[in-house]
Amino acid sequence: MQPRFHTIALGLCIIWAVLLTGGLAARVVDTSWLSAIETELKAGSSLVLVALSWAAATFAIRDWRPAATLIAAGMTLGCLGDASPLLGSLWPDPQRTLGNMVLFGLGHVAYIRAFCLIDRAQANQEKRPAIKIWYVSLVLWLVIGTVVWYFAAYLGPHHAVMRIPALAYTLLLSSTAGVAFGYALSNRLFALVAIGAILFLASDVLLAVWIFHDAVYRPFDLVWLTYGVGQMLIVVGSIRNLRALATLAE
C-alpha cells in the first residue's frame, strides 16, 4: 500500500475514535445536545470505518484487492445496520432487528471469505500449507455460540419469535470468530482480527441479553463499546495483513 494511504488511515482512525468516544459519552455526560446526536455519532464512527476499508481496497495491490473489497463490503453492510435506528418508525422492531441480522450476517459471510483469501495468499507467499487448525477452532466457537445463545436468548422471557433467527445469527458470528481465532493460532498477524471478531460476538451476546431479558446497560453502552472496537480491529487487522502481503511481495 502506498505511503499516502498511511496518512489517510491515521486521520480516519483519529476521527473514528473521536466519534465513537462522543457517542459513548452521550450516556455518561448529562448534556442534552450530545444525547440528541448519540445515534448519529455512533453511525458516523461506522461510516469512517467504511471509508477506511474502501480506501484500503483502492490502494491494495491488484492481487489482493478482492480480499480488501470483501472487508469493505462487510463493513458497509454493518454500517447500514448501524444507521437503521435513524429511520425511526419507518422501520420499526422487530422487523428492523431481523433486517439488521440479515445485513450483519451477509457482512460476516464477506469477512470469512476475506480471511480465507488472506491466509491462502500468505501461505502461497511463505510456501507453507494453508492453515487447517481453523476447522477445530470453528467447531469450538460454534459450541460456544450455541451455549451463549441458550442462556442469552432461549431462556429469555421476551420476543420468543426471534429466538431461532438469533441462533442462526449467533452461529454465523461464532463462525467468524472461529475462523479468525484458528488462523491467529498459527499466524500472529491474525491476532487483531481474531480479537475484533470475538468482541463483535460479545456485543451480540450483550445485545441478546438486552432484547430477550430486558437488561439495561447504564451508564455505559457496553454493546457499542464492544461492537465499535471489534469492527475497528477487524478492519485494521485485515489491513495489517494486506500490508504484510505487500511487504512479502517486494
Please write the tens of the pLDDT for every residue from 90-128: 777 778 888 999 999 999 999 999 999 988 887 777 666
Note the pTM of the prediction, 2 decimals.
Answer: 0.92
Query: Grid coordinates representing 100?
Result: 439488521
Q: Which three cell numbers stand for residue 197?
A: 471478531
Residue 8 has pLDDT above 60, yes or no: yes
Domain ranges of the chain: 73-249
User: What pLDDT does 219 receive?
Assistant: 64
pLDDT value at residue 105: 95
**Is the pLDDT reported for residue 55 higher than 80?**
yes
Q: Tell me 162's DSSP state.
A: G
Cα gap 140→137, rounded to integer Å: 5
Contact 107, 174 (CB under 8 A): no
- What number of H helices and E strands is found in the chain? 9, 0
pLDDT tens, residue by residue, 61-80: 888 899 999 999 999 999 99
3-state secondary structure (DSSP) of residue 104: helix
Distance CA 189, CA 244 (A): 8
Q: Cell numbers of 120, please?
A: 491462502
